[in-house]
A = this chain, B = another copy of it.
Amino acid sequence: MICVENGGRVYSITQLCQEFDVTARTIRHYESCGLVEPARQGQRRVFSERDRVRLRLVLRGRSLGFNLSEIAEMIDLYDLDPSEVAQLERTLAYGRQKISQLESKRAAISEAIEELRAWERKLGVQLQRRLRQQSEEGKR
């Protein structure tokens, strides 16, 4: 069931649960942390497209080993209107720090991938040897 409200597509909590494979409890928890800010129709939460995007960002951050407060700081970078220059500079500096943090994480992952690939090649060779041995035994 697709819902639209004054021009924007909106989502119920269970729709988002199904899309991202999380429980409602999880999304409500994220709301209580300020990670999403659904509107209300009576009691019910009404999630906007923006909420949906933020939810996706939260889940991505979570899978990368950030905790929810770090994630909050990071995604809050995207929607702020810093009036003071000083504030703007601090924000920019913080963002750059986060970028380099992410880059070193990526480097760590790349290392891990390379190591596992080397391991895989080694084990693949072993496996081939074993299989040939077995077929030799089969001929006798």
> Which residues of A pack against B, CB within 8 Å?
60-66, 74, 77-78, 85, 88-89, 91-92, 95-96, 98-99, 102-103, 105-106, 108-113, 116-117, 119-120, 123-124, 126-127, 130-131, 134
This protein's copies in its complex: 2
Contact status of A95 and B123, CB under 8 A, knowing A64-B65, A85-B131, A130-B85: yes
Contact status of A60 and B108, CB under 8 A, knowing A120-B99, A131-B85: yes
Point out the residues of chain B lying under 8 angstroms from A95, CB to CB: 116, 119-120, 123
Query: Is A119 a contact partner of B64 (Cβ separation < 8 A)?
Result: no
Query: Is B99 a contact partner of A60 (Cβ separation < 8 A)?
Result: no
Point out the residues of chain B lying under 8 angstroms from A63, CB to CB: 65, 105, 108
Instruction: Give the distance in Å from the alpha carbon of A118 to the alpha carbon of B96 in the complex.
Output: 11
Query: Is A62 a contact partner of B64 (Cβ separation < 8 A)?
Result: no
Query: Closest B-chain residue to A105, C-beta based?
Result: B109
Instruction: Give the distance in Å from the alpha carbon of A102 to the alpha carbon of B112 in the complex.
Output: 8
Contact status of A77 and B109, CB under 8 A, knowing A65-B63, A88-B127, A123-B95: no
Contact status of A113 and B130, CB under 8 A, knowing A108-B63, A120-B92: no
Query: Is B109 a contact partner of A106 (Cβ separation < 8 A)?
Result: yes
